[in-house]
Amino acid sequence: GNTYLYRPSREDIMAAADDLPTYKDVADAAAVLAGVAHHTPTETSRTLDDQLGVSCFVKCENMQRMGAFKFRGAYTAVNHYLNDTDGKELKGVLTYSSGNHAQAIALASTKTLGIPSTIIMPTDAPTLKLKATQEYGGNVVFYDRYTEKRDEVAQKVKGTLPEGTVFIPPYNHKYVIAGQGTVGKELIEDLQSKSIALDYVFVCVGGGGLISGISLAVKELSPKTQIIGVEPEAGNDAQQSLEQGQIVHIETPKTIADGAQTQHLGNLTFDIMQRNVSKIITVTDEQLVDEMKFFGERMKMIVEPTGCLGLAGLRKLVSSGEIEKGANCGVIISGGNVDLERYCKLISSTI
């Protein structure tokens, strides 16, 4: 696809009015989420360790409420506005998302906290994610992700909503990033309580909210751990951005990893990633399907394609000899929301 330099739109500037989050914001988010979000398990598999020759620790955000890590950031952000709108009442929440953030905002805002939510979703969003968003009480507005710019759609829709509606983007937002960072805080602290120090942690990359948040926690609690991002080969905008030292914008990538079909990083996520992420690697859709099969067969988990990026990335670097034998490797499963019919098609076909 053609790449061009990214100029933040008004919507992004609105979203990023807050300064960069720090580890303190992640710790605050953990307190907000205690008893609300699940403290998800970290799983291991002897088969996996034997195959790879490393010790692998898999953080299962597919077990999170609504089936993905996104609940953490959504709840943290909505909670922030509920308690801090400078005396103005929070009347509603607006966002855009292809799925997991949509569900997360609907569940956190409308179902849990009783605040109306409007979610702009692409016409080709996975049916499961659309249905769940509507079930949680989200009001869905559709757009065509291949011909329309979602920032522009968001501006139009915002004009029709009541004063006191806040826009909470999927990743480029101080409190969203802080909430996602609690995934890393839990993983590192759970392992440290067993005297295990991670050498690497592999995280999927879409807009960078998860990896930037996790990196804040990891750099604070386990500074020697290297953070490696994994993107679909078809949509390697983060890899290009870190190589060029500026945010690169790409066309919507065609990949089965619908959670990583982002066109660009955010200015906040990019800033944090530049400082904390060791490198970004890419994997193919075929490699994602292999890991979906592995998780299903060997670890008895349904993992969506995007959720397989981390393990596919680790396996790739083990094969190329870049990860030393016996290393302690963290792998984040970002989510498990995939239509079962589509899941069965993917794992039974060779792409």
Burial of 62 (0-12, 13-18, 19+ CB in 10 A): buried
**268-to-45, 176, 224 alpha-carbon distances in Å:** 35, 11, 23
Annotated catalytic residue, options 98, 109, 117, 334:
98
User: Both tokens of residue 165?
Assistant: 């509606």
User: Do 198 and 225 touch, CB atoms closer than 8 A?
Assistant: yes
The rounded distance, in Å, linking the Cα atoms of 60 and 38 is 10
Q: Which of 199, 188, 165 is nearest to 54 (CA)?
A: 199
Annotated catalytic, 241? no
Amino acid at 210: L
Cβ neighbours of residue 312 closer than 8 Å, sequence gap 6 or more: 230, 283, 287, 288, 290, 291
Distance from C-alpha of 101 to C-alpha of 138, rounded to nearest angstrom: 11
Structure tokens at 231: 């993107």
Q: Single out the residue of 291, 289, 259 nearest to residue 48, CA to CA.
A: 291
DSSP symbol at 142: E
Q: Using only C-alpha atoms, what is the Rg of the chain?
A: 19
Choosing from 70, 129, 174, 316, the catalytic residue is 70
Is 70 a known active-site residue? yes
Lookup: tokens for 264: 């660009």
What is the rounded CA–CA span in Å between residue 246 and residue 38? 35
Of the candidates 62, 68, 59, the residue with the CA atom closest to the CA atom of residue 97: 68
Location of structure tokens 């089965």: 256
Q: In this structure, are residues 104 and 74 in contact, taking their beta carbons and an 8 Å threshold?
A: yes
Residue corresponding to tokens 């440290």: 192
Q: Which residues of 13-42 are buried (b: 16+ CB within 10 A; e: fewer)?
A: ebbbeeebbebebbbbbbebbeeebeebeb
Q: Which residues form the catalytic set?
A: 70, 98
